Amino acid sequence: MQWEFVLLDKQNKIATITLNRPEKYNAFASNMRNEILEAVEDAGSDPEIHVVVITGAGKAFCSGGDVNERVSGKSKALSTTVSNERHTMFKTVLAINSIEKPFIAAVNGIAAGGGCNLALSCDIRIASENARFGQIFTLRGTHPDWGGIYFLPRLVGYAKAAELFFSGEIINARESLAIGMVNKVVPHEELMPATYNMAEKIAKNAPIPITFIKRGLQNFCKMDLPQALDYEAYALDVCRKSDDFMEGFKSFLEKRDPVFKGR
């Protein structure tokens, strides 16, 4: 499938979604949100794909909404457009959250506003030393979107999230690592090799338990200990009935790498 602002590449069980509007720092254009959703759904529905990477072309991950498009009036029928954009953002974040595959954000530069929260909606974030993160909504007279109110305090805690939202401050990659916003910071030229190294490690593992682990992690705030233990017992029962379960133990005894098929 061909899109104007998004690229989708699939190799070695890994799908890479690249926001491709580098001349505008990958700011969301009028139809770009729909293209991101379509790419996410395409990667998520492909049984050959085990991990999805989201990154940006050029110097930015995503600078958020296109301010020039708003101010210039290029976005026609503003109230209808905003409503459609909100619906698309809602569906995209829910898709990333509900698709039973790990999503990794490879943050190559500025991730601001909705672009920051798109990265936060992923399961894992690897940042280039050039990356910067900003919840700049209050500087523009608007409110966070793309699930920022949900994701940020779960990653960094209430007080730090409040500081970042209220101030609109942009922080660098090292600070984002220190507060738990990202998993890893690497030299800029090593960003994609480091991302694919992690993605390949995950893609080689058994997809059925990864599916259950992602569900469990997403609901950890809602479960008490007995519920967590019940969930683990259910997931273990399903895994034990799979071919991959036997493959995991056979490969260990045979001293070889396992070959998992998701069955």
Domain assignment of residue 259, yes or no = no
Domain assignment of residue 261, yes or no = no
The answer to whether residues 222 and 175 belong to one domain is no
Domain containing 65: what range? 6-203
The answer to whether residues 134 and 160 belong to one domain is yes
Structure tokens at 248: 């995991």
Burial 112-126 (b: 16+ CB within 10 A, else e): bbbbbbbbbbbbbbb
Task: Using DSSP, state whether 54 is helix, strand or coil.
Answer: strand
Which pLDDT score, from 0 to 100, does residue 102 have? 97
Which pLDDT score, from 0 to 100, does residue 77 have? 46
Interval 54-107: pLDDT, tens: 999 999 999 988 776 665 555 544 444 556 667 888 899 999 999 999 999 999
d(CA 139, CA 145): 14
Which pLDDT score, from 0 to 100, does residue 239 have? 92
The answer to whether residues 234 and 155 belong to one domain is no
Which pLDDT score, from 0 to 100, does residue 222 have? 82
Looking at 182, 203, 224, the residue that finishes a domain is 203
Structure tokens at 122: 């992923």
The answer to whether residues 144 and 65 belong to one domain is yes
Q: What pTM was estimated for this model as a whole?
A: 0.91
The answer to whether residues 57 and 182 belong to one domain is yes
Regions of the chain with pLDDT less than 50: 76-80
The answer to whether residues 173 and 196 belong to one domain is yes
Provide the domain count of the chain: 2
d(CA 212, CA 234): 10
Looking at residue 159, its amino acid is A
